[in-house]
Each structure stands twice: as C-alpha cells, then as structure tokens.
C-alpha cells in the first residue's frame, strides 16, 4: 500500500509530466511586441469585398468566390494591384468617388483633384493652428479631421486653434543636451482649444488663391464648445447651408443631468436621403431612431435593455439595416437584419460569441468573423436576406501543444446589491484545489472599455497566461462604469470616478476570499491608464487588502487630466471640488502599506508625468515607499519590443514580492 507521502509525490510527478508535455511560453511568444508573437495569433483570412464581388486575397491573383456556394469561380480572378495608386505625401483622406485627395503640406490643408490640380485651403497652418486633423484629443469617437461628401465634390474639415492652450513641458532626453518637446495639453477646468468647421467646394474654387472655394459654418463662439460628437449635458443636431455656412435649423436636442455622448454620426438611408438614423441613449440604452430632415421623429427602431454596438450598413433590396447588438447576451456581439418598416430583427449568425461584419456594396452578403470562448476564430459568408451561410472556416488553435491555462467565467453582484457583474478567471494548467495560490486582480474599470467577453479565452490577455504558467491565478472583473451595459450602469461613477468602481472590485475580492484555493494574504493588483488609477486607488484606499500592486501610466489626480475626458465625467474642479478631493490619490499616499511599483513613459502625452511625480512627492512627505520605473522617450504605452521588457518587469515585481519561496 502506498503511503500518503508516496501518493503526493506521485501526483507531483504526474503534474510535472503534464507541464513538460506542454511547451512553455516566453513573452517573445505571448506579448504583441515579441519576436515570435505573430505565429500564436489565430489565423486570419484575407476575404474582402471588391464592390459586390467576394475576393480571396490569400491567392495571387486573387480568386473570386461565389457567395452562394463558397466555391471559387473558375477562370475569374481580380488583380488587386491594378487599381493601386501612389499615396500623396502628407495624405489625409482619398475620395474614391471623385479621385480627389486631401493632404497636408507645411501644416496647411490642400486638395488635389484627379487631374493633379492642387487647391490650397489654408495659409495660416502651424503648430498652433491645426487643419484637417482630429480634434479634442481623439476623445469623442472621431479619429480624423476631413470628411468627404458622398459625391466627392465637397470636403468638410476641422480647423483647431490651440494658441490659447498652455504648453506642457515634455522633455527630449535623447539629445546631447536635453531639449523641450512641449505638448498642447488643456487640463480639466483650464482653457481648451477652439474648433471651427470649414467646407471646401471643388466647384466653388474658381481661383488658385489660398482659401478659394472655402466657407466656414456659422457655429457661434467656439469657446468651451465641442463641435464634434460630444456635449457634456446638452447636445443639438443642427443643419447648415454649405454654400453660406449659416445654420438653417436645429433638428433635435437632447439633454441630461449628467452628460450626453452622441459618439456616432447620423446615417442617411441610401434609398431615401430625406431620412436618417441617429443613435441615442434617451431611453437608458443606446438604440436606433429614425428621423427626417425636417426634424420629425419617425420612431424608435430598436428597444430593450441592451445596446446597439454598430450600424454596419444597409441592404436596399430588403429595406433593412445590418446591425450588431448585445441583445443575445451581455458578453456577446451578434449580427441582425433590422427591417426598417416592421422593426423586426432577424439573427444572422450562430447566436454565440463576438461577431464582426463586413458588408458587400449592395448589402446582400456579409463576411461574418467571430470568436467564441473555445473558438480562436471562425468566419462565414452570410446571405443577409435568407440567413444562409457558405464558406465556413474555423481556425486551428495556435496554442496547440503549448501551455494551456484553465479559463473560467462567472458573475458576482455589484456593491449596490442588485447589478450583475461579469468576471474572468485564469488558473494554472495543473491547478490543484487543495493548494493556495497567489492571485492578481487585473483591472481597467473605466468608461468605453470592458475586459470580459465571450471571445476566445473569455477575452483573456496573453500576459495572464504567462502569469498562470508561473503559478498565479488571475481575476478580472468589469465594474459599474464600464461600457455596453446602459446609461445608468455607466453613469453610476459620475463626478466621483473610481469610488463605485473600487467598491465593485472589492466585491470581487470578497468573492475570491470565499475560494479555498485563493491565498487572501497574497493578493496583487495591476492595471494601466484608468487601470493604473484604479490600482493606485485600491492600494491606498484598501491598504490591507492587497500586498503588491503595479500601476502603469496612472491618473493620480483628475485636475491634471485632459479637459475633454475629465470634465465629461467629473465636471470641472471649480464645479466639483469635493469630487476631485475624494478621488485624488495624493491625499491617500500616506495610506500605502503594500509594495507598489509605478511605471510610466517619460513623455506620456495622455497621462502626463506630473501625476506620478507628484504622487512620489506625496509619498516622500508621508514616509511611504513606492517603487518607480520610467521608459525614456515612450508615451502612454510601451511600443514594439519594449512591451516585452515592460511585461517582464511587471511579472518580476509580483515574483519578488507576492510569491513566496515555497507554496504550501
């Protein structure tokens, strides 16, 4: 008879053998900046639309695919290089309809027509007067600054005057003597830039004088206003005459006692340019509404306690819209055909996982690409009218034969006692419920983001696998304030960022403490950006809960964060002094007990170094001892191979201070 010690030894040998049978990852395989990372991503297929033709670009020349059967059309190929054009130096946006291109030269905006004729739209462009680029620091869902009309005859563009915005003194240390490399950075409660909208008409450009053919919309005083898809508590949809720039009418207004976020432009029906779809959360969830150009509301197209994620496009033949929604499950994204007359929705995918869609020009077919928790990637071609699929492909597991952790998903109640929150857990492959494991909470927690979804491995980041391989459990929870759960869920954090979020994260910690295999004395926390703010806040608000933390690029005090984000969620420091005081980590530096490492890019233009430096100063004054690491020349995230170095450093900090020399 084997003794208990012999049995335990045998089990240990078996577990070791299981690990040895699986190849172990390094960060060169798991991190996006790693030398071998590309081969461990799920396979992608180069399927694309050339008008209404489905093309397989994996082949040279590209094959044409029959959408009904999924078979290659014999004898029909497409030369994808035939219509390639040379990009214009400084190019911003090409218009296929007219062949014209908008571009920058010496900070000024130009348009070149198909025949090569150039039109200069501005003459005062500079670092302080910016043309044709995204404005408001990319915070409001628009990432460009030029917008062609459908016929390509007119170009709308942004002009941003940031001369009144203070320079933030970033420093370039790669010179023999360090030099200033300032950013225009308007902080919450301080002076912001002024944006106006110009319209250039190809037909109106009758001379070659700079600015010929341009008019500017009469928007009124641009001070403290955002002429894009955002307003704090009030938004209007206005129509303008593009020949005079004058406002013709206000089509609709929407207000809130917190904030309004119209992050998406209106979309006109391709078969009726007098009607358009707009998106609103006025019923509590982001849904689609139909309106005409006279400002008449024509009805709500979707409704329910779920959000519309995307309006993909239209199928004119069936008078329907193709949309992606969350209605099949909070963790899913699924494709539907929406009949605009009956408002009936028809599911066009398998009803599981997270889907994306590319629509053919006529809207009759779409390429459906998706993941499920156990499906690395799959795709199919779907008939939007009948729902029939062809060309179904499923990627092989790129991790086959390599270390495979255990991925789990579950729920806890939020601190309000009634809202369901979703979590993901990553356990070591040789998980033993009789052991106690050091556990790291990975957190983001801010608006317009989420961590847990029904994609491959429940949306797990590959660093979590690296940590599981080293003997940790990883726990990830989406708190109130994160995206896709409706207006009330997101706005619970208004004017006191981090506070409700921390309460929810501590609900997750309470759940972890009920698990016999989680070592409650060895809890760590890590996050970046808003997650860095959450990490620092948790370490100093609940100093006895976490032994080790790593905070990357953290916000420390919202008064030092950019105006467009900070004022939306916090109001100004003048309007909300209590909220800014409550959320500041400066005031909590004295509470730090555990080991906390702060890591930043020294030239971070998003969360400026002042945050972390002032926290270090507060800790020095209070006698607490954080650690600090900085990447010279890097921004808000570490690019390229430095990301491998970063994640090795994060890992090593937990190895040094969270994991003991032996595991009971």
231 pLDDT more than 60: no
The pLDDT tens digits of the residues spanning 261-294 come to 666 778 899 999 899 999 999 999 999 999 998 8
Contact 271, 319 (CB under 8 A): yes
Q: Which two tokens stand for residue 316?
A: 């004119």
CB atoms within 10 A of CB 106: 9
pLDDT of residue 467: 98
Q: Which two tokens stand for residue 364?
A: 């009759």
Contact 437, 467 (CB under 8 A): no
Mean pLDDT lowest for which of 9-13, 209-213, 415-419, 601-605? 9-13
Contact 193, 186 (CB under 8 A): yes
In the block, which residue shows the tokens 């797990």?
Answer: 460
Taking CA atoms, 152 is separated from 112, 113, 216, 347, in Å, by 12, 10, 18, 35
φ/ψ of residue 117, rounded to 5: -65, 130
CB atoms within 10 A of CB 572: 16
Pairwise CA distance, residues 637 & 619, whole Å: 24
Cβ burial, residue 177 (10 Å; 0-12/13-18/19+): exposed
In the block, which residue shows the tokens 């156990």?
Answer: 374
pLDDT band for position 245 (50/70/90)?
low
30-58 in b/e form (b: 16+ CB < 10 A) is bbebbeebeebebeebebebeeebbbbee
Mean pLDDT lowest for which of 105-109, 157-161, 341-345, 618-622? 157-161
Q: Which two tokens stand for residue 47?
A: 């399927």
Taking CA atoms, 472 is separated from 439, 545, 660, 664, in Å, by 6, 17, 12, 14
243 pLDDT more than 80: no
pLDDT of residue 247: 66
Strand partners, 235: 254
φ/ψ of residue 15, rounded to 5: -65, -40
Across 62-88, average pLDDT: 87
Mean pLDDT lowest for which of 41-45, 206-210, 572-576? 206-210
Pairwise CA distance, residues 369 & 76, whole Å: 25
Q: Which two tokens stand for residue 50?
A: 């050339």
The DSSP H or E segment spanning 474 is: strand 473-477
The pLDDT tens digits of the residues spanning 501-542 come to 999 999 999 999 999 999 999 999 999 999 999 999 999 999
The pLDDT tens digits of the residues spanning 604-632 come to 999 999 999 999 999 999 999 999 999 99
Pairwise CA distance, residues 596 & 588, whole Å: 13
- 190 three-state secondary structure: coil
Across 79-100, average pLDDT: 86
Angle at which helix 499-513 crosses helix 530-541, to 10 degrees, equals 70
pLDDT band for position 86 (50/70/90)?
confident
Across 195-199, average pLDDT: 89
248 pLDDT more than 80: no
Cβ burial, residue 314 (10 Å; 0-12/13-18/19+): buried
> Any idea which residues carry the catalytic annotation?
529, 604, 636
253 pLDDT more than 70: no
233 pLDDT more than 60: no
Pairwise CA distance, residues 297 & 128, whole Å: 41
383-403 in b/e form (b: 16+ CB < 10 A) is ebbeeebbbeeebeebbeebb
Length of the chain as a residue count = 664
The pLDDT tens digits of the residues spanning 554-611 come to 999 999 998 888 888 999 999 999 999 999 999 999 999 999 999 999 999 999 999 9
Residue 478's contacts (CB-CB under 8 Å, 6 or more residues apart) are 421, 422, 423, 445, 450, 451, 452
In the block, which residue shows the tokens 């009805």?
Answer: 299
Beta-sheet pairing, 437-442 with 473-477: parallel
φ/ψ of residue 98, rounded to 5: -115, -10
251 pLDDT more than 80: no
Strand partners, 337: 322, 346
The pLDDT tens digits of the residues spanning 308-341 come to 999 999 999 999 999 999 999 999 999 999 999 9
Across 440-469, average pLDDT: 97
Question: 77 or 474: which carries more pLDDT confidence?
Answer: 474
Question: 624 or 208: which carries more pLDDT confidence?
Answer: 624
- In 95-230, the DSSP E strands lie at 101-105, 108-112, 118-120, 129-131, 146-148, 154-161, 167-168, 171-172, 179-180, 183-184, 194-201, 214-216
Torsion, CA 51, CA 57, CA 62, CA 67, rounded to 10: -50
pLDDT band for position 12 (50/70/90)?
very low
Residue 646's contacts (CB-CB under 8 Å, 6 or more residues apart) are 552, 599, 631, 638
Instruction: Tell me the average pLDDT of the chain.
Output: 90
Q: Global pTM?
A: 0.90
């Amino acid at each position: 008879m084997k003794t208990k010690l012999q049995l335990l030894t045998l089990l240990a040998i078996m577990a070791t053998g299981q690990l040895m049978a699986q190849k172990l990852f390094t960060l060169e395989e798991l991190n996006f900046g790693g030398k071998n990372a590309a081969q461990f991503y799920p396979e992608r297929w180069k399927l694309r639309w050339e008008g209404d033709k489905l093309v397989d670009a994996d082949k040279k020349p590209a094959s044409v695919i029959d959408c009904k059967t999924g078979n290659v059309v014999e004898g029909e190929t497409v030369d994808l290089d035939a219509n390639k054009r040379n990009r214009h130096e400084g190019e911003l946006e090409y218009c296929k309809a007219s062949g014209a291109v908008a571009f920058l030269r010496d900070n000024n905006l130009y348009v070149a027509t198909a025949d090569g004729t150039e039109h200069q739209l501005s003459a005062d462009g500079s670092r302080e007067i910016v043309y044709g680029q995204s404005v408001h620091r990319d915070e409001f869902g628009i990432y460009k600054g030029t917008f062609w009309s459908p016929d390509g005859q007119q170009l709308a563009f942004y002009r941003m005057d940031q001369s009144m915005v203070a320079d933030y003194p970033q420093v370039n240390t790669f010179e023999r003597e360090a030099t200033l490399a300032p950013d225009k950075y308007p902080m919450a409660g301080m002076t912001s830039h002024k944006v106006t909208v110009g319209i250039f008409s190809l037909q109106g450009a009758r001379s070659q004088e700079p600015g010929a053919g341009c008019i500017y919309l009469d928007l009124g005083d641009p001070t403290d206003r955002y002429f894009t898809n955002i307003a704090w508590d009030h938004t209007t949809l206005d129509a303008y005459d593009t020949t005079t720039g004058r406002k013709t009418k206000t089509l609709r207004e929407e207000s809130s006692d917190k904030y309004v976020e119209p992050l998406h432009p209106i979309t006109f029906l391709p078969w009726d340019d007098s009607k358009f779809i707009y998106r609103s959360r006025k019923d509590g969830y982001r849904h689609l509404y139909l309106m005409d150009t006279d400002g008449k509301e024509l009805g709500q197209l979707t409704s329910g306690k779920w959000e519309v994620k995307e309006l993909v496009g239209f199928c004119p033949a069936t008078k329907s819209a193709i949309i992606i929604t969350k209605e099949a499950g909070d963790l899913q994204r699924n494709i539907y055909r929406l009949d605009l007359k009956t408002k009936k929705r028809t599911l066009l995918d398998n009803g599981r996982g997270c889907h994306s869609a590319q629509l053919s020009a006529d809207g009759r077919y779409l390429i459906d690409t998706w993941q499920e928790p156990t499906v690395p990637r799959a795709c199919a071609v779907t008939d939007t009218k009948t729902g029939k699929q062809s060309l179904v492909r499923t990627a092989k597991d790129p991790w086959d034969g390599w270390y495979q952790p255990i991925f789990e998903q579950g729920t806890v109640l939020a601190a309000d006692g009634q809202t369901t929150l979703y979590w993901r857990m990553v356990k070591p492959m040789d998980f033993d419920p009789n052991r106690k494991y050091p556990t790291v909470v990975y957190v983001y927690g801010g608006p317009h983001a989420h961590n847990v979804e029904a994609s491959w491995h429940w949306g797990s980041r590959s660093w979590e696998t690296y940590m599981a391989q080293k003997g940790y459990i990883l726990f990830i929870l989406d708190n109130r304030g994160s995206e896709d759960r409706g207006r009330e869920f997101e706005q619970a954090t208004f004017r006191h960022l981090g506070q409700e979020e921390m309460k929810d994260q501590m609900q997750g910690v309470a759940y972890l403490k009920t698990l016999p295999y989680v070592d409650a004395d060895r809890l760590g926390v890590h996050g970046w950006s808003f997650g860095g703010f959450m990490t620092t806040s948790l370490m100093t608000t609940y100093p006895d809960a976490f032994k080790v933390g790593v905070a990357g690029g953290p916000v420390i005090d919202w008064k030092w964060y950019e105006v467009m984000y900070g004022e939306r969620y916090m109001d100004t420091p003048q309007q909300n002094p209590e909220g800014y005081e409550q959320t500041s980590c400066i005031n909590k530096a004295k509470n730090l007990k555990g080991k906390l490492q702060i890591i930043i890019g020294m030239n971070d233009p998003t969360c400026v170094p002042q945050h972390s430096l002032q926290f270090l100063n507060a800790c020095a004054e209070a006698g607490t001892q954080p650690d600090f690491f900085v990447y010279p020349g890097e921004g808000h995230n570490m690019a390229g191979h430095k990301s491998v170095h970063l994640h090795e450093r994060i890992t090593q900090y937990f190895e040094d201070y969270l994991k003991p020399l032996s595991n009971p």
